[in-house]
């Protein structure tokens, strides 16, 4: 795997469906054999008695969006793979189709170099039209760090992320308080629980007008708050917020970078386990 370019489209789902189509609509045994062989070639890791294997897979079909300058897509893929037991689909920003996807993840990084404004240019990419349609259909969206910034720039979440109050990049662990645990993102956390997640951002200072902040709090849409000091200056210690239907989550810290005891802990894993169980 190392040293290779991005692994695109390794998710076996469409192949499975294609295979079923073959099986259902062809009568000849030769065709069946052909289809079976093709399936094995496509997905050597899924044995032919695949229904059993399929049952173990997460029902959450996931796409990780790739914008130029995104750099935490590998971290995110590792976390998804670990909790979901399935390979996420990596989707280039110039694509326009998210059909069949349940969960869209926009990972961290510096899309388009953070030039102009963090997330501003990515919000205009072709794939964002599909993300908006996906959200309108009630699909799940997770935006982390630059992903959160892109979601606010795209108008899918309110507010904006300004330069950190210190005007310096912040790279350290922060403690996050779980404001509610009745969402698909946080079901595996206890309400009020505090967990650790790495920060890595220059622009994480969450800002919105007072009315918006009051509405977020009034409608219980604050997902996480900084529990051990507000390093970036965010309004009301907000680290992450939900959309009104609780299906879109944006947050600045990186739960995907703390899913392995060897890397310092698994505090971020319940978020992905929650999604896997949804």
Partner 1 sequence: MKKVDAALAKSFGLNAEEYAKVLEIMGRTPSLTELGIFSVMWSEHCSYKSSRVWLKELPTKAPWVIHGPGENAGVIDIGEGMAAIFKMESHNHPSFIEPYQGAATGVGGILRDVFTMGARPIANLNALRFGDPALPVTKRVVDGVVRGIGGYGNCVGVPTVGGEVNFHPAYNGNPLVNAMTVGIAAQDKIFLSAAAGIGNPVVYIGSKTGRDGIHGATMASTEFDASSEEKRPTVQVGDPFTEKLLIEACLELMQTDAIVAIQDMGAAGLTSSSVEMAGKGGVGIELILDDVPQRETGMTAYEMMLSESQERMLLVLKPERTEMARAIIEKWDLDYAIIGHITDTGRIVVKHKGAVEADILLAPLADAAPLYRRPIAETPKPAPLGPVHSDMKLGDALLKLIASPDLCSRRWIFDQYDSTVGGQTVKRPAQADAAIVRLEGTKRALALTTDCTPRYCVADPEAGGAQAVVEAWRNISATGATPLAITDNMNFGNPEKPEIMGQFAAAIKGMAAACTALDFPVVSGNVSLYNETEGKGILPTPAIGAVGVIEDAAKAVGLALKPDHDLIVIGASKGELGRSLWLREILGQETGAPPAIDLAAERRNGEFVRAQILSGKVAACHDVSDGGLLVAVAEMALAGDAGVDLTAPETSHAFWFGEEQARYVLSVESAQDRAALLAAAAQAGIPAVEIGRANGNGKLTHSDTVAISLPQLREAHERFFPSWFAL
The residues carrying an active-site annotation are 145, 254, 256
> By CB under 8 A, how many residues form the interface with partner 1?
36
State whether the Cα torsion 53-54-57-62 is positive or negative.
positive
- Closest distance to partner 1 from the beta carbon of 31 (Å): 33
Integer Cα distance of 142 and 39 in angstroms? 31
Question: Looking at 3-11, 48-56, 148-156, 214-222, which segment touches partner 1 (CB under 8 A)?
Answer: 3-11
Q: Does residue 9 bind partner 1 (CB under 8 A)? A: no
CB nearer partner 1, residue 80 or residue 157: 80
In the stretch 181-210, what mask flags binding to partner 1 with x, by CB under 8 A? -----------------x-x-x--------
For partner 1, the closer of residues 201 and 247 by Cβ is 201
Our CB check for partner 1 shows the closer of 196 and 247 to be: 196
Buried b or exposed e, range 201-237, using 16+ CB within 10 angstroms = bbbbbbebeeeebeebeeeebbbbbbbeebbbbbbeb
Retrieve residue 65's tokens: 């969006």
Residues 65, 69, 72, 76: what is their CA dihedral angle, to the nearest 10 degrees? Answer: 10
Examine residue 75 and tell whether it contacts partner 1 (CB under 8 A): yes
Two structure tokens written together for 154: 């795209």
CB under 8 A: which stretch of 125-133, 134-142, 234-242, 260-268 binds partner 1?
260-268
Is 265 an interacting residue with respect to partner 1 (CB under 8 A)? Answer: no
How far is residue 77 CA from its own chain's centroid? 9
> Residue 262, interface with partner 1 (CB under 8 A)?
yes
Q: What is the DSSP letter of 77?
A: H
Q: Whose Cβ is closer to partner 1: residue 122's or residue 157's?
A: 122
């Amino acid at each position: 795997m190392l040293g290779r370019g991005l692994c695109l489209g390794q998710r076996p789902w469409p192949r499975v469906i294609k295979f079923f189509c073959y099986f259902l609509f062809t009568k000849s045994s030769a065709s069946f054999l052909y289809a079976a062989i093709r399936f094995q070639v496509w997905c050597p890791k899924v044995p032919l008695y695949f229904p059993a294997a399929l049952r173990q897979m997460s029902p959450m079909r996931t796409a990780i969006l790739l914008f130029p300058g995104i750099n935490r897509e590998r971290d995110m893929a590792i976390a998804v793979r670990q909790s979901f037991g399935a390979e996420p689909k990596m989707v280039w920003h110039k694509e326009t189709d998210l059909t069949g996807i349940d969960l869209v993840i926009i990972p961290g990084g510096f899309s388009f170099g953070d030039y102009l404004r963090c997330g501003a240019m990515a919000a205009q990419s072709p794939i964002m039209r599909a993300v908006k349609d996906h959200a309108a259909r009630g699909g799940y969206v997770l935006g982390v760090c630059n992903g959160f910034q892109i979601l606010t720039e795209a108008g899918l979440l309110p507010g904006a992320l300004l330069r950190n109050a210190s005007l310096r990049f912040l790279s350290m662990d922060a403690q996050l308080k779980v404001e509610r645990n009745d969402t698909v993102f946080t079901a595996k956390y206890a309400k009020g629980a505090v967990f650790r997640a790495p920060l890595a951002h220059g622009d994480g200072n969450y800002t919105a007008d007072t009315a918006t902040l009051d509405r977020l709090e009034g409608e219980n849409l604050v997902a996480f708050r900084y529990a051990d000091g507000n390093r970036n200056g965010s309004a009301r210690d907000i680290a992450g917020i939900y959309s009104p239907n609780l299906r879109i989550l944006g947050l600045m810290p990186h739960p995907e970078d703390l899913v392995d005891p060897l890397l310092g802990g698994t505090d971020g894993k319940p978020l992905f386990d929650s999604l896997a169980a949804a």
